[in-house]
């Protein structure tokens, strides 16, 4: 018969780690999305030539593994004497990482809006801001939503790497419990279940929005 030394205190400790995971993910996705929207619009307006320096910078964040970015970012902030706590460093690096991907999602979504639609909006007398707000933004949001949901889920899982900065998030909390109880398979199953419970509502939200918007095609 299965027996475990897992206690309620251990579960609460893992739940606290899950709360840290959600906090870092929420801040990173919110800040990264806002920055990504701005940079995505800038890339579209400047065109591929004038936005080349920005594209190169974003490619660095998309190409270098996140773990290396976290370690180097933490080292550089210490050298620069910013005095950031690991939580702040984690949020900043993850936000920039998210923004790099979100920028491409936004750029691709805007470019996917038919040029004829935009020309028709301009022919009706809409200026640039009205065109972007009333025509491009709603269409681009529908196009970008599946990719944005995927990015959010990816950031949620990648946030486990902040344990290398000493943060006790969900995975690190699970490792601490494993070290004490020596029940790795059982604890990791619980950890995976918690990640699933955190991810499932986000995935369902994306499905709901797609279904809600589909009749308007």
Q: Is residue 15 part of a domain?
A: yes
* 8 A C-beta contact, residue 105 and residue 147: yes
In the chain, the number of structural domains is 1
Q: Is residue 59 part of a domain?
A: yes
* 8 A C-beta contact, residue 169 and residue 90: no
CA–CA dist 16, 10 (Å, integer):
10
Q: Is residue 42 part of a domain?
A: yes
- Helix axis angle for 184-213 and 137-158, nearest 10°, is 180
Q: pLDDT tens digits, the chain, 217 residues: what are they?
A: 467 778 888 889 999 999 999 999 999 999 999 999 999 999 998 888 888 899 999 999 999 999 999 999 999 999 998 989 999 999 999 999 999 999 999 999 999 888 888 778 778 777 888 888 888 888 898 889 999 999 999 999 999 999 999 899 999 999 999 998 888 898 999 999 999 999 999 989 888 887 777 655 5
Output the six-digit token pair for 138.
Answer: 């709603």
Q: Is residue 169 part of a domain?
A: yes
Q: Is residue 91 part of a domain?
A: yes
- The 8-class DSSP code of residue 113 comes to S
Domain at 129, CATH number: 1.10.3720.10
* 8 A C-beta contact, residue 46 and residue 109: no
What is the pTM for the complete model shown? 0.90
Nearest to 172 by CA among 1, 28, 24, 3: 24
């Amino acid at each position: 018969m299965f027996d475990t030394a897992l206690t309620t205190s251990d579960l609460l400790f893992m739940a606290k780690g899950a709360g840290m995971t959600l906090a870092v993910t929420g801040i990173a996705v919110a800040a990264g999305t806002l920055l990504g929207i701005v940079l995505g619009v800038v890339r579209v307006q400047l065109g591929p030539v004038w936005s080349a320096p920005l594209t190169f910078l974003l490619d660095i964040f998309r190409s270098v593994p996140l773990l290396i970015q976290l370690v180097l970012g933490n080292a550089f902030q210490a050298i620069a004497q910013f005095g950031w706590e690991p939580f702040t460093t984690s949020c900043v690096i993850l936000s920039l990482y998210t923004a790099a991907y979100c920028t491409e999602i936004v750029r691709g979504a805007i470019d996917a809006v038919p040029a004829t639609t935009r020309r028709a909006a301009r022919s009706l007398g809409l200026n640039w801001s009205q065109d972007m707000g009333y025509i491009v933004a709603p269409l681009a949001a529908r196009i970008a939503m599946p990719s944005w949901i995927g990015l959010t889920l990816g950031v949620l899982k990648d946030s486990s790497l902040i344990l290398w900065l000493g943060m006790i998030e969900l995975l690190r909390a699970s490792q601490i419990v494993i070290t004490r109880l020596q029940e790795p398979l059982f604890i990791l199953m619980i950890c995976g279940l918690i990640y699933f419970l955190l991810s499932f509502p986000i995935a369902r939200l994306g499905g709901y929005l797609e279904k809600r918007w589909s009749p308007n095609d």
